[in-house]
């Protein structure tokens, strides 16, 4: 199965991001972006790719041990970004604020992933939420200055290990494990619950950078 660790967005953040997507979609060039559905919005912390089912328990255990000392924190959505550049965008994304605790969390997840026997991620981490993937050059003029931090604040108390499966309408994300910050142990596996559908796969966006793959 293909898996990745991520932060889920709360309802307020998803709504704020969805409203912004509606604004961008209506602008000239907006038709040249394959926009992500609001229910699949997330902050990728570590994309793993193909993962043996037998490795999931050890993976969650090692990551839980690494994030056990990290306290919950507040998260908001900032301004719109384009990867790799505003002039030649391949991905439209939202900056995450403040970035420091997300970076610390991603580094802890990375340490746990490596401790579980996975190869280290060589690409630098960039915290962001992918809004859409550019399909036409006309989208290069979309970049606004809107920031959503005030409307989208939420407390981050856990990370989620997702499975990503291809579906007829896009990728389907299924939570496999929810791991609380500051507890030192993985929570019980989440019940089967599918989050539908995503207009692209997490590995198509950056490790922090959406144009390669993001965290």
**DSSP string across 123-150:** SPP--EEEEEEE-SGGGGG-----B-TT
Tell me how far apart the 2 most distant CA atoms of the chain are, in Å.
48
Residue indicated by tokens 């384009």: 82
Asked: is 2-204 a CATH 3.90.1140.10 domain? The reply is yes
pLDDT attached to residue 139: 60
Q: 93 — alpha (psi -120 to 50), left (phi > 0) or beta?
A: beta
| Cα–Cα dist 189/207, whole Å | 25
pLDDT attached to residue 121: 94
Token reading at 160:
């989620």
- Residue ranges of domains in the chain: 2-204
Please name which of 49, 44, 70 lies closest in space to residue 127, comparing C-alpha atoms.
44
Higher pLDDT, 173 or 67: 67
Q: Are 165 and 9 in contact (CB under 8 A)?
A: no
Helices (H) and strands (E) in the chain, counts: 3, 11
Q: What global pTM score does this model have?
A: 0.81
pLDDT attached to residue 142: 63
pLDDT attached to residue 168: 73
């Amino acid at each position: 199965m293909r898996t990745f660790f991520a932060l889920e967005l709360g309802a307020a953040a998803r709504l704020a991001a969805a409203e912004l997507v509606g604004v961008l979609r209506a602008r000239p060039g907006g038709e040249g972006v394959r926009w992500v559905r609001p229910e699949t919005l997330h902050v990728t912390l570590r994309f793993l790719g193909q993962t043996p089912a037998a490795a999931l328990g050890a993976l969650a255990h090692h990551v839980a041990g690494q994030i056990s000392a990290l306290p919950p924190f507040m998260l908001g959505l900032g301004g719109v970004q384009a990867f790799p550049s505003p002039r030649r965008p391949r991905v439209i994304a939202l900056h995450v604020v403040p970035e420091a605790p997300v970076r610390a969390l991603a580094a802890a997840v990375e340490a746990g992933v490596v401790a579980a026997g996975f190869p280290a991620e060589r690409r630098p981490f960039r915290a962001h939420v992918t809004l859409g993937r550019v399909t036409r050059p006309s989208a290069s003029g979309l970049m606004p200055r809107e920031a959503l931090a005030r409307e989208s604040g939420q407390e981050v108390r856990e990370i989620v290990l997702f499975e990503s499966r291809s579906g007829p309408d896009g990728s389907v994300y299924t939570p496999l494990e929810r791991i609380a910050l500051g507890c030192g142990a993985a929570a019980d596996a989440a019940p089967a619950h599918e989050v539908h559908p995503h207009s692209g796969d997490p590995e198509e966006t950056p490790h922090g950078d959406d144009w390669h793959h993001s965290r």
